[in-house]
């Protein structure tokens, strides 16, 4: 029995060795063929980047006129309402002054008194003559003391109305607000840190949510010198150069001021940049492996970011799939080789 065991020991050792080698070789083969990570990459580019200051704004009419009552009196005729277009010198309301009301009422009462007296003594020639004179005075008062017409000082649209027919108005009371629709501006609130970047006659790009497919041109016409102590913002006025008839005062718009243009700078897509706790990085494809490099970034212009250091022209940066990478990870660029295979096919 001992002799038999001694003879089987070498056989068992050999089988165990073969089995172990077989188990170890299979995973190694799988890792070798499946370890390359599929990523998307594109080269570092030289581009022109634009630094824009984008801020909300509100459309205002550049010319606004308040129409005031010219005398104390009653509103007897209302000729326009909100939204109506008016011309310069167009009559918008008629006011009957109090002095006119008093004179006409006195003349009317005199006619009534003479009529009453004459009804008691119809044959009295004196009363007949006095009644005739009272009627003439009444007609004269109606013709001489007429309603006062109030006119618009500008062309525009009635934006506000504070009166109705029959209202008694004191002198110099607001009746209407007229806004000129020909010249519109945009009021933009700008922080004290950014307002120094702007200057008069600077071009401005304007977008209105009400007209998403249209871009409006503007130009800075005034930068208010005082900063609001509560908001720490200053007011900038931008004149609309190409307003359309449907733009209205009070509309919300978005403005874009170009404050800096950087030409011929290195840039990569924003999506390639990784924010680490201590630095910004990205992965580049070096040969067939990934390498993480530290970046010094600058201006961000939409989908592109300026690279001040860390990359060179032509470096291939990973734009998709970098979350699964670390330095030394084998990678395969999606789409790489397709052009070569097509060319080879063409050569055949």
CATH of the domain at 118: 2.40.50.100
In this structure, are residues 171 and 72 in contact, taking their beta carbons and an 8 Å threshold? Answer: yes
Residue 282 lies in a domain: yes
Q: Do 139 and 75 belong to one domain? A: yes
* Dist CA 185 CA 130 (whole Å): 65
- Pick the closest to residue 327 from 278, 289, 299, 298 (CA basis): 289
Within 165-296, where are the H helices?
Answer: none
The pLDDT of 126-148, averaged and rounded, is 76
Structure tokens at 205: 């790009």
* Dist CA 288 CA 310 (whole Å): 19
In this structure, are residues 153 and 67 in contact, taking their beta carbons and an 8 Å threshold? Answer: yes
Query: Which residue among 122, 145, 179 closes a domain?
Result: 179
- Pick the closest to residue 309 from 41, 44, 52 (CA basis): 44
Is the pLDDT score of 336 beyond 70? no
Instruction: Determine how β-strand 331-333 pairs with β-strand 37-43.
Output: parallel
Instruction: Please give the pLDDT value at position 151.
Output: 94
In this structure, are residues 179 and 156 in contact, taking their beta carbons and an 8 Å threshold? Answer: yes
- Pick the closest to residue 127 from 111, 143, 145, 147 (CA basis): 111
Using the CB atoms, write b or e for 309-321: b if 16+ within 10 Å.
ebbeeebbbbbeb
DSSP line for 99-161: HHHHHHHHHHHHHHHHHHHHHH-TT-HHHHHHHHHHHHHHHHHHHHSPPEEEE-SSSEEEEEE
* Dist CA 72 CA 300 (whole Å): 62
DSSP state for residue 287 in the 8-state scheme: T
Query: Which residue among 179, 194, 222 closes a domain?
Result: 179
Query: Which residue among 150, 179, 208 closes a domain?
Result: 179
Q: Do 171 and 278 belong to one domain? A: no
Q: What percent of the chain has pLDDT over 70?
A: 84
Q: Do 152 and 75 belong to one domain? A: yes
Q: How many domains does the chain have?
A: 2
pTM: 0.61
Structure tokens at 139: 């007609």
| Residue 330 domain boundaries | 37-47+265-347
Is the Cα dihedral 229, 230, 233, 238 positive or negative?
Answer: negative
Instruction: Please give the pLDDT value at position 97.
Output: 77
Q: For residue range 309-335, what is the model confidence (pLDDT) as tens digits?
A: 999 998 999 999 998 899 999 999 987
**What H or E segment, with its residue span, contains residue 86?**
strand 85-86
What is the distance between the terminal CA atoms of the chain, rounded to a whole angstrom?
Answer: 72
Which backbone phi and psi does 245 adopt, to 5 degrees? -60, -25
Least confident of 103-112, 151-160, 333-342: 333-342
Structure tokens at 278: 């201590």
Residue 235 lies in a domain: no
Residue 122 lies in a domain: yes
Instruction: Please give the pLDDT value at position 142.
Output: 67
Q: Do 130 and 42 belong to one domain? A: no
Is the pLDDT score of 172 beyond 80? yes
CA dihedral 246, 250, 256, 259 (to 10 degrees): 130
Instruction: Please give the pLDDT value at position 281.
Output: 96
* Domain harbouring 329, CATH code: 2.40.420.20
In this structure, are residues 185 and 62 in contact, taking their beta carbons and an 8 Å threshold? Answer: yes
Q: Do 41 and 95 belong to one domain? A: no
* Dist CA 76 CA 221 (whole Å): 42
DSSP line for 37-70: EEEEEEE-EEEEEEEEEEEEEEEEES-EEEEE-S
Q: For residue range 21-59, what is the model confidence (pLDDT) as tens digits?
A: 444 433 333 334 457 899 999 999 999 999 999 999 999
Is the pLDDT score of 259 beyond 90? yes
Q: Do 94 and 41 belong to one domain? A: no
Q: Do 43 and 68 belong to one domain? A: no
Q: Do 308 and 339 belong to one domain? A: yes
Instruction: Please give the pLDDT value at position 344.
Output: 36
Residue 25 lies in a domain: no
Residue 219 lies in a domain: no
Residue 225 lies in a domain: no
* Dist CA 108 CA 139 (whole Å): 9
Residue 147 lies in a domain: yes
Residue 306 lies in a domain: yes
* Dist CA 201 CA 57 (whole Å): 17
């Amino acid at each position: 029995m001992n002799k038999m065991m001694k003879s089987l020991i070498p056989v068992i050792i050999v089988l165990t060795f073969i089995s172990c080698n077989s188990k170890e070789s299979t995973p190694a083969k799988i890792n070798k063929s499946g370890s390359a990570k599929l990523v998307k990459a594109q080269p570092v580019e030289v581009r022109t980047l634009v630094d824009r200051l984008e801020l909300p704004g509100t459309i205002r009419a550049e010319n606004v006129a308040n129409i005031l009552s010219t005398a104390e009196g009653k509103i007897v005729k209302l000729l326009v309402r909100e939204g109506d277009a008016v011309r310069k010198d167009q009559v918008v309301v008629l006011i009957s002054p109090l002095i006119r009301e008093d004179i006409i009422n006195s003349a009317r009462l005199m006619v009534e008194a003479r009529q009453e007296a004459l009804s008691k003594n119809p044959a009295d020639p004196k009363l007949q003559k006095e009644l005739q004179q009272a009627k003439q005075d009444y007609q004269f008062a109606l013709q001489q003391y007429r309603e006062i017409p109030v006119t618009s000082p500008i062309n525009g649209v009635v934006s506000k109305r504070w009166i109705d027919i029959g209202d008694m108005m004191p002198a110099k009371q607001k009746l209407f607000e007229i806004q000129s629709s020909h010249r519109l501006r945009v009021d933009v609130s700008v922080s004290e840190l950014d307002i120094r970047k702007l200057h008069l006659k600077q071009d401005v790009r304007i977008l209105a949510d009400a007209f998403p497919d249209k871009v409006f041109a503007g130009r800075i016409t005034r930068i208010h010198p005082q900063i609001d102590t509560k908001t720490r913002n200053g007011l900038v006025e931008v004149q609309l150069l190409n307003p359309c008839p449907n733009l209205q005062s009070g509309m919300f718009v978005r403005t874009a001021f170009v404050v800096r243009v950087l030409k011929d700078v290195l840039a990569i897509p924003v999506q390639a940049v990784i924010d680490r706790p201590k630095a910004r990085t990205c992965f580049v494809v070096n040969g067939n492996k990934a390498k993480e490099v530290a970046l010094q970034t600058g201006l961000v212009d939409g989908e592109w970011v300026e690279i001040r250091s860390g990359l060179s022209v032509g470096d291939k940066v990973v734009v998709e799939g970098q979350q699964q990478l670390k330095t030394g990870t084998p990678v395969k660029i999606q789409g790489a080789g397709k052009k070569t295979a097509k060319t080879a096919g063409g050569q055949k």
